[in-house]
């Protein structure tokens, strides 16, 4: 197998693991499931990832890094529009893919996650909180975002609220509810 094919297989394994975890959670997928999706033997996954936890960490890290890149590339003329664009990423995941945020899915499994996976989940949320808080602080500097708002505390509520609204919206088959929650959060921060 060439290096390119090896890299393609590794990417296919990560993609399959991400999709399966977003649908079923950490406890609802196996190497066998991933192998069936990718079209390889489950033993072949061990070439890239020794354990299920290693695969989950790599998948969650890739997801976190990709979301951070996408968030950092968002542009908007105001802080509230930037927060709305960020929230739209969640809406698109639910509406277009019928899925949930991998961070939220793994957080729901927190009590049963291996420690290294739980650590990656914490890093995921920390990165999201920091990004949102930074946007809020910049908006406060321009007078667009309420000055009395605690940016760090609201960032945690904003991200957690989107995650929760996403889960409930999916559970009750009402994806529009996530958009309503997003707009409500944006209204709460405007000066």
User: Which residue, among 94, 16, 72, 22, has the nearest Cα to 49 in the 3D structure?
Assistant: 16
| 8 A C-beta contact, residue 144 and residue 80 | yes
Banded model confidence at residue 7, pLDDT cuts 50, 70, 90:
low
Mean pLDDT score, 150-163: 97
Instruction: Determine the straight-line distance between the first and last CA of the chain, rounded to whole angstroms.
Output: 58
pLDDT of residue 120: 96
User: Which residue, among 63, 50, 56, has the nearest Cα to 26 in the 3D structure?
Assistant: 56
Token duo for residue 54: 């290693």
pLDDT of residue 10: 84
Q: What CATH number matches the domain at 3-189, 3.10.580.10, 3.30.450.40, 1.10.1040.10, 1.10.357.10?
A: 1.10.357.10
pLDDT of residue 9: 83
Token duo for residue 96: 């277009």
> What's the whole-model pTM score?
0.89
Task: Compute the radius of gyration of the chain from its Cα atoms.
Answer: 18
Could you report the per-residue pLDDT of 46-102, keeping only the tens digit for each? 888 999 999 999 999 999 999 999 999 999 999 999 999 999 999 999 988 878 999
Banded model confidence at residue 3, pLDDT cuts 50, 70, 90:
very low
Residues 27 and 19: their CA atoms lie apart, in Å, by 13
Q: Please determine, for residue 1, whether its predicted confidence score (pLDDT) is greater than 50.
A: no
pLDDT of residue 4: 37
Mean pLDDT value across the chain: 91
Q: Please determine, for residue 139, whether its predicted confidence score (pLDDT) is greater than 70.
A: yes
Q: Could you give the angle at the alpha carbon of 36 between the alpha carbons of 31 and 37, nearest 5°?
A: 100
> Structural domain boundaries of the chain?
3-189
Mean pLDDT score, 164-190: 93
| 8 A C-beta contact, residue 67 and residue 128 | yes
pLDDT of residue 99: 84
Could you report the per-residue pLDDT of 146-156, keeping only the tens digit for each? 999 999 999 99
Mean pLDDT score, 11-20: 92
Token duo for residue 163: 């995650």
Residues 149 and 66: their CA atoms lie apart, in Å, by 29
pLDDT of residue 167: 93
């Amino acid at each position: 197998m060439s290096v390119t094919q090896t890299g393609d297989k590794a990417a296919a394994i990560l993609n399959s693991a991400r999709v399966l975890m977003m649908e079923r959670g950490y406890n609802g997928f196996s190497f066998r499931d991933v192998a069936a999706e990718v079209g390889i033997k489950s033993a072949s996954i061990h070439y890239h990832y020794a354990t299920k936890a290693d695969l989950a960490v790599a998948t969650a890290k890739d997801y976190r890094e990709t979301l951070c890149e996408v968030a950092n590339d968002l542009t908007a003329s105001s802080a509230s529009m930037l927060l709305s664009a960020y929230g739209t990423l969640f809406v698109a995941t639910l509406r277009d893919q019928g899925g949930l945020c991998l961070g939220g899915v793994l957080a729901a499994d927190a009590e049963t996650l291996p420690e290294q996976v739980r650590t990656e989940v914490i890093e995921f949320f920390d990165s999201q909180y920091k990004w949102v808080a930074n946007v809020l602080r910049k908006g406060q500097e321009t007078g667009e975002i309420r000055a009395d708002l605690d940016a760090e505390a609201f960032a945690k509520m904003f991200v957690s609220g989107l995650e929760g609204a996403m889960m409930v919206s999916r559970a009750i088959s009402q994806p529009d509810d996530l958009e309503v929650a997003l707009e409500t959060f944006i209204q709460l921060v405007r000066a």
